[in-house]
Structure 1
Amino acid sequence: MLFKYTGFDKDGKLIKGQLEAESIAGLKAQLKHKKIIYKTINKDNPSIFNKFSLRRKIKLKANVLSSISRDLSIYLNSGISLLNALKLISQRYKNDSKLNPFFLSVIAYMDEGKNLFTALQLQKIVELPEFYLQSIKISEDGGMLESVLVELADYLKEQDKLNKQIVSAMTYPAFIITVSFFMVGFMLSFIVPKITAIFEHNDQALPGITKFVIEAGNFVNSYYHIVLIFIITIISLSIYILKNFPKVKYKYDTLLLKLPFIGSLIEIGELSRFAYMNSILIKSGVPVVQAFKLGSNILKNSVIKNLFLSASKKVVEGEKLSTILDNSKIYKIDIAFIQAVAIGEETSQLSAILQNLAELYSTKNKDKIGIFLTLLEPMFMLIVGGLIGFIVIAMLLPIFSMSF
């Protein structure tokens, strides 16, 4: 909600302004933090656009949430109370338009006597992952908040590294594709028409390959704006369909898992994510069934996500996860993962086994991404070189056969 206020600053000067807060208590906490003595407080009536924007919670980047979690655990281990630790961390974000209200809101709720989990749930500014909230809840009840915060910080840091690695992996191909697109467009728009004029002047018979390139050049020159709109529309429509049509997303994810190398890369990444998250949740005291469900919800591939969600429902009935995964017809995951989980279930060391699996698959994933990056460079160079070479050859063939 947006509030308007009038009050006095630390110098006694009358001031007025507006602040975003989820409650009057949250607003008062912000004003207290700014050393403003309020005189009047009124709810503002925002426009339709602002109403929409105010209802939307922001999502924190993994590295930011990791940093906050780690700092909080350090303060708690130093003997500082939870409330004072949050106040200390909030000082670092006092100029952040979103995080400052978030901290002040959480602090205001905790000043009212609520615990951290409840305060995080009630605040309306930042959208926190469900697994994060559940880990905080269980760890607070079990008196393990400091250690669980460290585990969560490590997990989020690893996810941030992985995300950056994936972005890095896609940056070079995106650059090559963009450059090749403009190079081909330039050749078809400027180079090919000039050479075509020479052929027309000599009234020369042209090979089929040359005619194809010339027609492509004419098409690009005449309809380039339509081509650009078409490409942008296709990309936007594809993203929209994948986000809003689960059945299409499921088929798309199924296809990805069947691709050589790419499928293995996706599976290993998802198994690493599931294992790491569940090792933290189970270690924090979250019941195994609930941990499996929460761990499944963070997965990105809908096929593997559906596999583990389905398995979590059967675990409630008393079946073992390893048995369910082994007999599943949804998707056959790595047998080594199933066997390791079976050992963890038999020895009651599932959390430790899952942590080891997470580290193992994380290392495998990094190695595969490294190989993928190594292969991408020559592959794209070959594609771009082949495409440009095709155009050059198509233009040179008639020149070589030209009779002067």
Structure 2
Amino acid sequence: MPAFAYKARNSRGELLTGRQEGTSPEAVADELARSGLIPVEVRPAKATGEFKLSLPKLLGDRVSDLDLMLFVRQMNSLLKAGVPILRALTSLADSAVKPALRNVLNGIREGLAAGRELSVSLRRYPNVFPDFFVNMVRVGETTGRLEEVFLRLYHHYEFEIDMRERVKGALRYPAFVVVAILAAIVVINVVVIPAFAKVYAQAKVELPLLTRILIGTSDWMVHWWPLLLGLLVLIVIGFRLWVGTPAGAYHWSRLLLKLPIAGKIVHKAALARFAKSLAVGHASGLPITQNLTSVARVVDNVYLASRIEQMRDGVERGESLTRVAAAAGVFTPVVLQMLAVGEETGDIERLLNEVGDMYQRDVEYEVKALSDQIEPILIVVMGILVLIVALGVFLPLWDLGKTMLRR
């Protein structure tokens, strides 16, 4: 019987990992659910030294957030039209373009036909449907508001995708600037400086210190570029491995929030995601502790997620949501004030949505203004680079020209 590696959470939301034998990932997920755990990820366990290349993964054949957004929108429309859920799933499976999505929908349909609830069938695919999704559907089944829950999930994913794309767009420009500067440094050291170095060598003139430093750096880069390339690859691989560890992901997520310009965009986007997700869960009737656990997994920042889980622990001890949010130390005064007013008036859903909308507008503004903020930095960096190269390369030419005129 094959072995599967799993990640699951207990009733307190703590992440557990292990290995378990089973006939399929779905069977292992069912066994974990029966034992009181919430499956997060179930995948085949790799044997030592084994290396498998997944063709569907290479081709991008996986269920994305965009697929889920379209799925819940279509489910909302079909249920609103009075189509039975089994027939709706059959129709969506037959019209699905991605094989991965079609297989998942067929599996859910088979689970429903076998007498399982929809939330239980969804939980068999932890890599596709996150806990937030499953918990919302389960509440919709319990309250008879499944159609409304699917509409809320659609707005949730629409907001998530928009925020993610805006943050990626905000970080893409600084990354491009850094790459352009590094490329310019490489071209100068590999092409420009060696050409001038030949002229200086033939002239046999004494060179200034700055020029000697530039020529020495260029020679070192030309002769040792394989070492530099290998070092760069090792740094990238090491960074990815480090970020893949819990401690590395935690520290990198915290550092990401403190970046000079892009950090506040990432922070505001995370706060908007927190407020909107908490509002959606609250409106759907999720218990506050379960809602906070689900929200912690959708904020897309490990550091903030750990703080939200601490909030959940405080709420379980009987503290108010405003007090535990203030103790977390990651929320702005606006968020804390809205939470306090919402708890006092009982209108927390509307106020959280207002906070989410406010930070969404702030992110849009910050993204538009990012180029204006980056441009002065780029001009200064490029100006310093040009000044160093000009002084190092052209001063010897000036001295060489004066020497030739004297002759």
Both proteins in one fold, TM over 0.5: yes
Q: Quote the residue 2:382 is aligned against.
A: 384
- Structure 1's 59 and 347: CA in aligned 2 closer, same or farther, altered over 3 A? farther
Query: How much has 1:70 moved relative to structure 2?
Result: 0.6
Q: SS state of the match for residue 300, structure 2?
A: coil
Task: Percent identity, please.
Answer: 19
Q: Quote the residue 1:213 is aligned against.
A: 214
> 2 CA distance for matches of 1:167 and 1:340?
28
- Structure 1's 373 and 243: CA in aligned 2 closer, same or farther, altered over 3 A? farther
> 2 CA distance for matches of 1:175 and 1:51?
30
> 1 CA distance for matches of 2:342 and 2:296?
18
- Structure 1's 207 and 225: CA in aligned 2 closer, same or farther, altered over 3 A? same
Query: How much has 1:59 moved relative to structure 2?
Result: 5.6
> 1 CA distance for matches of 2:307 and 2:125?
33
> 1 CA distance for matches of 2:379 and 2:53?
49
> 2 CA distance for matches of 1:149 and 1:377?
43
Q: Quote the residue 2:323 is aligned against.
A: 323
Letter in structure 2 aligned against 1:86: L
Task: Please tell me whether the aligned partners of residues 155 and 276 of structure 1 are also in contact (alpha carbons under 8 angstroms).
Answer: yes
Query: How much has 1:234 moved relative to structure 2?
Result: 1.0
Structure 2: segments with no counterpart, 5+ residues: 3-23, 28-46
Letter in structure 1 aligned against 2:292: F
Query: How much has 1:153 moved relative to structure 2?
Result: 1.1
Q: Quote the residue 2:152 is aligned against.
A: 151
Query: How much has 1:332 moved relative to structure 2?
Result: 4.8
Q: SS state of the match for residue 99, structure 2?
A: coil
Query: How much has 1:275 moved relative to structure 2?
Result: 0.9
Task: Please tell me whether the aligned partners of residues 311 and 325 of structure 1 are also in contact (alpha carbons under 8 angstroms).
Answer: yes
Indicate whether 1:285 and 2:302 are aligned: no
Letter in structure 2 aligned against 1:106: I
Q: Quote the residue 1:66 is aligned against.
A: 69
Per the normalisation by structure 1, the TM-score is 0.80
Q: SS state of the match for residue 319, structure 2?
A: coil
Q: Quote the residue 1:237 is aligned against.
A: 238
Letter in structure 2 aligned against 1:121: R
Query: How much has 1:171 moved relative to structure 2?
Result: 3.0
Q: Quote the residue 1:117 is aligned against.
A: 119
Q: Quote the residue 2:340 is aligned against.
A: 342
Query: How much has 1:166 moved relative to structure 2?
Result: 2.3
Q: Quote the residue 2:275 is aligned against.
A: 275
> 2 CA distance for matches of 1:71 and 1:196?
67
Q: Quote the residue 1:82 is aligned against.
A: 85
- Structure 1's 70 and 264: CA in aligned 2 closer, same or farther, altered over 3 A? same
Letter in structure 2 aligned against 1:111: A
Letter in structure 2 aligned against 1:282: H
Letter in structure 1 aligned against 2:343: E
Letter in structure 2 aligned against 1:345: E
Query: How much has 1:387 moved relative to structure 2?
Result: 2.0
Q: Quote the residue 1:12 is aligned against.
A: none
Query: How much has 1:49 moved relative to structure 2?
Result: 5.5
- Structure 1's 185 and 362: CA in aligned 2 closer, same or farther, altered over 3 A? same
Task: Please tell me whether the aligned partners of residues 22 and 105 of structure 1 are also in contact (alpha carbons under 8 angstroms).
Answer: no
> 1 CA distance for matches of 2:255 and 2:387?
32
1:3-402 to structure 2, matched below 5 A, reads 60-93=63-96, 95-123=97-125, 126-246=127-247, 248-326=248-326, 328=327, 330-402=328-400
Letter in structure 2 aligned against 1:230: L
- Structure 1's 142 and 309: CA in aligned 2 closer, same or farther, altered over 3 A? same
Q: Quote the residue 2:40 is aligned against.
A: none
Task: Please tell me whether the aligned partners of residues 304 and 331 of structure 1 are also in contact (alpha carbons under 8 angstroms).
Answer: no
Structure 1: segments with no counterpart, 5+ residues: 3-20, 25-46
The C-alpha deviation readout for 1:165-222, integer Å capped at 9, x for no partner, is 2222233333333333333222211221121111111211111111111111101110
Task: Please tell me whether the aligned partners of residues 166 and 363 of structure 2 are also in contact (alpha carbons under 8 angstroms).
Answer: no
Task: Please tell me whether the aligned partners of residues 267 and 333 of structure 1 are also in contact (alpha carbons under 8 angstroms).
Answer: no
Query: How much has 1:249 moved relative to structure 2?
Result: 3.8
Letter in structure 2 aligned against 1:73: N
> 2 CA distance for matches of 1:344 and 1:58?
42
Task: Please tell me whether the aligned partners of residues 105 and 123 of structure 1 are also in contact (alpha carbons under 8 angstroms).
Answer: no
Q: SS state of the match for residue 401, structure 1?
A: helix
Q: Quote the residue 2:11 is aligned against.
A: none
- Structure 1's 119 and 148: CA in aligned 2 closer, same or farther, altered over 3 A? same
The C-alpha deviation readout for 1:111-143, integer Å capped at 9, x for no partner, is 21222111112247x532110111111111111
Q: Quote the residue 1:9 is aligned against.
A: none
Aligned CA-pair RMSD? 3.0
Q: What number of residue pairs does the alignment pair up?
A: 359
Query: How much has 1:86 moved relative to structure 2?
Result: 1.2
> 2 CA distance for matches of 1:306 and 1:205?
61
Task: Please tell me whether the aligned partners of residues 184 and 388 of structure 1 are also in contact (alpha carbons under 8 angstroms).
Answer: no
Task: Please tell me whether the aligned partners of residues 253 and 303 of structure 1 are also in contact (alpha carbons under 8 angstroms).
Answer: yes
> 1 CA distance for matches of 2:336 and 2:138?
29
Task: Please tell me whether the aligned partners of residues 86 and 103 of structure 1 are also in contact (alpha carbons under 8 angstroms).
Answer: yes
Task: Please tell me whether the aligned partners of residues 173 and 380 of structure 1 are also in contact (alpha carbons under 8 angstroms).
Answer: no
Letter in structure 2 aligned against 1:366: E
> 1 CA distance for matches of 2:26 and 2:240?
36
